[in-house]
Structure 1
């Protein structure tokens, strides 16, 4: 099996998340996107039409395509993250429709954590509000590469270009203070279908792409050839048959970069160096593999490798550490306090850890630091210092979202407590803003 430059660069899947304040029209936008792109099954559409008639509505309420939970329908809001899968002729999509309420910040973090793009909705009548800033800050914290400002309900402001331009300018300036550079603003009406899939005749002053056109063409991910290779070992394969007696392979999904036969690699945390002898993908040998392929790698030397180890490119990989500084979003109703003993799951490795310090909490609306002495409560985002029982090979989250992230788990019952991002990524955002001579936030 061989590869080409086109294969390495090809992107067929876009993960994106929607966010916005309550009643900005997120669910209607998603429903319109699914409906107008012909991604809705006939029976689904009939069910929506039936439910809409029961509510006394003359036209289908497309928001019902995503608001699937009964409690959400009764309240008329989206509470949980609603995932939808659809495809067009040009690309496949995984969409996460995240809630707008401030108390569900953790849900937005969950939905945006793996996103390549975030769609932030703004009601054209209200402009930017506190939740707009909050959602944009979370997207910056999670290093979402692309942000779309969707100025919705343009039909309710007479499709005025000046309204759109003012909101777009304010949002772009604010996003720049957070280090978000790839911002595209699109005026639309989810209810009427303007600029969602079809171009709007009422906004001929807008010459850009529709939302779907942008989603289909936005470049996703960096070139894997420019990233350091990382393969977390999921499973050690040792066939017991006589013909494969000497076979020893290390299976997992490549988190980043490219692995080639002959490449020098380091096994972490042991630090042993060796080279790639062979790569098996889908039962066939290949000379090269890249993220996010699942492969089995064989090494030239008989080194000790087990589940949880990390095979990293080169002979000078970053040394594993036991002391970790990170930003975390607390996801559990149980508070997190200094001294708490937890399990830390990083890629395929889980180790014991203790919370040595909670330096501060971050007010996501103002980006100010608050004292962390009282611990972190649900939806809080803060900076912590952790001490692990065994060394971990973490990359800075700003450099690698896969190998720079981790989970904190309650060792008593296995529930997830918090999601972490190594090396204080929010501080990077703050320093970038200060370097740009923006206002001091702290």
Structure 2
């Protein structure tokens, strides 16, 4: 059974938490004790209805403010697929939270309040989805019950958003009218929209094709661990363990170890302790090479005829996640897959307005939630791809050397 990671995003009060609660409730993915807890907490509601938003608004302080502050992750499964949901905040000051939730997402659900249509935050979330190269987008027009399930209102929103999608280069966009509070078009197709010819939201999520999103052309294998038992029984055993982030590897393939550039060939491949002739992303494997060469954690094994760039200066689109400002010249640890190197932010070219895509040239400093174009120099060479081409080898993080807190998310250009 495959896995779909998706994020929900929208303006405040667009109904993201209610939508997720409805998905969990109507697909019978709620434990009895969870259901009893939210029923108890919902007693204060005047209409006596269960407040499904409580399933994602986990902290009392958040609920008292009426907003979801952090990224809430929920897990559920149907007979067809497993799901991980990230519920991102709608407030503009939580851009970093959406970036965190969307960084590994296969799909984004952009919620639009039918009464308000496409608003500034709709564009902002769509811009972030575009920057993070999320392959699939579902535009869910919510609260249709409050506009009398009007087809004209829905069609106008679809026309408006289509312009946004075209501008941002969002290719696979699906539109659906819903009412999260009533459960219309969430798990089952609703009769409230006789003019809507598409499927329910859950049907879309169960059937979206994510297998084709995995890059099986550019083979990348970041080494996480070098296995050397050094026992009498396994005296000559030397294996390189990790997860294939993209591509396919087969016994006999000519490979290059980066950043050193040393070449060899694959002698054997182990998956789950058994030798196989071929392995592919996203399998966890142990590779054995023909030659006894110096390889350590953080190195990357690639096919000799298909190599990423190698260098110690990269241009990145950077989302700043720390309360302390980013100033050119600041030093951090940069982590790309299993490789961690010391680095310095040399230059900040511009700050990007995530509402309009306008650029402010050479800002003096960068604050929390800002997105900037920056040049980073690393103390030693790294092997990388552009984020647009290969998310798995083009996304990195910056780490504060003292506190070891993640302070920035990087998309290599």
TM-score after normalising by structure 1: 0.92
- 1:118 pairs, out of 108, 131, 148, with 108
- Per-residue CA deviation, residues 300-339 of structure 1 (Å, 9 max, x unaligned), is 1111111110001224513411110010000111111101
Question: Does residue 1:164 correspond to 2:154, yes or no?
Answer: yes
Q: Which moved more, 1:308-317 or 1:78-87?
A: 308-317
Matched, 1:188 2:197: no
Partner of 2:136: 146
Partner of 2:94 in structure 1? 104
| Corresponding position of 1:231 | 221
1:343 to 316, 320, 333: 333
Contact in 1 for aligned 2:215/2:390 (Cα 8 Å): no
How far 1:227 sits from its partner (Å)? 2.3
Deviation for aligned residue 1:42: 1.3
Contact 2:257–2:263, Cα closer than 8 Å, also in 1? yes
Structure 2 residue 165 is the aligned partner of structure 1 residue 201: no
Residue 374 (structure 2) aligns with = 384
Contact 1:224 1:290 in 2 (8 A): no
Which whole-Å CA distance do the structure 2 matches of 1:156 and 1:64 have between them?
A: 22
Deviation of the 1:221 alpha carbon = 4.1
Verify: 1:371 aligned to 2:355, yes or no.
no
SS at match of 1:64: helix
The number of residues matched between the two structures is 413
User: What are the residue-to-residue correspondences of 1:238-317 with 2, within 5 Å?
Assistant: 238-315=228-305, 317=307
Residues 1:36 and 2:26 are matched in the alignment:
yes
Query: Matched residues in 1 for 2:215 and 2:138: separation?
Result: 27
TM-score, length-normalised on structure 2? 0.98
> What is residue 399 of structure 2 aligned with on the other side?
409
Distance of 1:124 and 1:388 partners within structure 2: 48
Deviation at 1:55, TM superposition (A): 3.9
Separation in structure 2 between the aligned mates of residue 300 and residue 51 of structure 1, nearest angstrom = 62
Pairing 1:347-362 to 2, within 5 Å after superposition = 347-362=337-352
Quote the Cα distance in structure 1 between the aligned partners of 2:65 and 2:90: 13
Separation in 2 of the partners of 1:254 and 1:152? 39
SS in 2 for 1:215: helix
Task: Give ranges in structure 1 of 5+ residues lacking alignment.
Answer: 1-10, 424-442
Distance 1:388 1:225, change over 3 A: closer
Q: How does 1:21-32 map to 2 (within 5 A)?
A: 21-32=11-22
- Work out the CA distance in 2 between the residues paired with 1:316 and 1:19: 37
